[in-house]
Amino acid sequence: MTAVLIRATGQNLQMAYNQSLKSLGIVRLLERSEMLASGDIAALVYLWNPLTIVTCVGSSTSPIENLVIVLSLYGACRRLVPLAAFGWVIATHLSLYPAILIVPLILILGYGPDSPRRKLFQQRASIKVGENPSTDIHYQQKELASQPMLPLRFSWRLVVHFILWASLWSCYVLLLCGISVRQYGGLGEMFKSTYGFILTVPDLSPNIGVLWYFFAEVFDYFRNFFLIVFHVNILFMILPLAIRLNHRPCFLAFVYIAISSLLKSYPSVGDSALYLGLLGLFVEELADMQFSFFLFCGYVGISFLSPVMHNLWIWRGTGNANFYFATAMAYACFQIILVVESVSAMLNHDRMLRKLSIMKP
């Protein structure tokens, strides 16, 4: 189901991309390269990703979390506000980190799906106006009318709807939870056990992240300090990324998902399956990303090496915790490189679009 939704989101994004390119008049770009169906690619990547398959085989609940995240993105792209709100509330309820997706969701609802910078549209419009000073307002209106998806204004109506629906869904979910956990200590106990567990990291079982070994070795005096530092690292990046990438909210959502799966307290390969699938939505823009082959080899290598080291350490007793932790750190480094390079490639693509739109008369 997630793959179907990704495909639909991808189609939506692609339509928006085409339209925005047309509106900028960069038809030459379209003719130069063939348009890849990014939605289909993303859906196929998600379905055939070995990490997704492994997650499903292991009967984890990650596919359900992925589904509701993609559901919210799809709902936002299609302007289905209740669906988007539902997806976001359930995703936050299941694991705390999708709460940061509220920023890209609001941006999608307000501005619409990914498009080049609004400045370009304004420049284009001003150039056009400059070129044809004699055209009357009628022509301009026709221009504007022929581009119904042009995101020049932030539509507050949809955002307010979203907030209303989100609060409605969250009240409903909290009510249901309250009723079902009443005999176990009430909502406070539930929050302490679920969100408190995610935030305070009491269980130190080895996983593919870097936090377990750190908190097994850190001195008790600094434990709270480092907990705050690690969680603020995710929160801190929300604002700069939102400022820089506010015209591409779907890509912003992808970056947020990648960062939260890198820095979360109990990551799993299900999280990386999600963002690798979403990466496929942006093949057009990220076509000339640096280090792509290196990253691919890195992911493949880590996915082979990590279970081997785990087995050596825990089942055979011949290895050390350091072997397994080294693979976890290498995995984190590869994820960092992926995030940084994809952001850089997207910004480069924007720069290229800007150059092309300026150059064209």
**Residues at the interface with other proteins (CB under 8 A):** 202-206, 210, 212-220, 225, 229-230, 233, 236-237, 240-241, 244, 262-263, 290-294, 313-317, 320-322, 325, 329, 332-333, 336, 339-340, 343-344, 347, 351
Structure tokens given for 293: 């082959």
Q: In angstroms, give the least distance from the CB of 226 to other proteins.
A: 8
Q: In angstroms, give the least distance from the CB of 251 to other proteins.
A: 13
The amino acid at residue 35 is M
Q: In angstroms, give the least distance from the CB of 203 to other proteins.
A: 7
Beta strands in 92-196, from DSSP E residues, in sequence order: none
How many alpha carbons fall within 13 Å on the CB side of residue 49? 29
Choice between 67 and 259, CB closer to other proteins: 259
Among 136, 142, 144, 342, residue whose Cα is nearest residue 248: 342
Choice between 118 and 244, CB closer to other proteins: 244
Choice between 159 and 198, CB closer to other proteins: 198
The amino acid at residue 190 is M
Choice between 36 and 176, CB closer to other proteins: 36
- As a 3-state breakdown, the chain gives helix, strand, coil percent values, each rounded to 5, of 80, 0, 20
CA diameter of the chain:
82
Choice between 25 and 319, CB closer to other proteins: 319
Q: In angstroms, give the least distance from the CB of 358 to other proteins.
A: 12
CB proximity list for 325: less than 8 A, separation 6 or greater: 210, 213
Structure tokens given for 168: 């409605």
From CA 178, how far away is CA 263, in angstroms rounded?
A: 30
Choice between 172 and 236, CB closer to other proteins: 236
Q: In angstroms, give the least distance from the CB of 184 to other proteins.
A: 13
Among 49, 44, 96, 51, residue whose Cα is nearest residue 270: 51
The amino acid at residue 16 is A
Q: In angstroms, give the least distance from the CB of 134 to other proteins.
A: 35
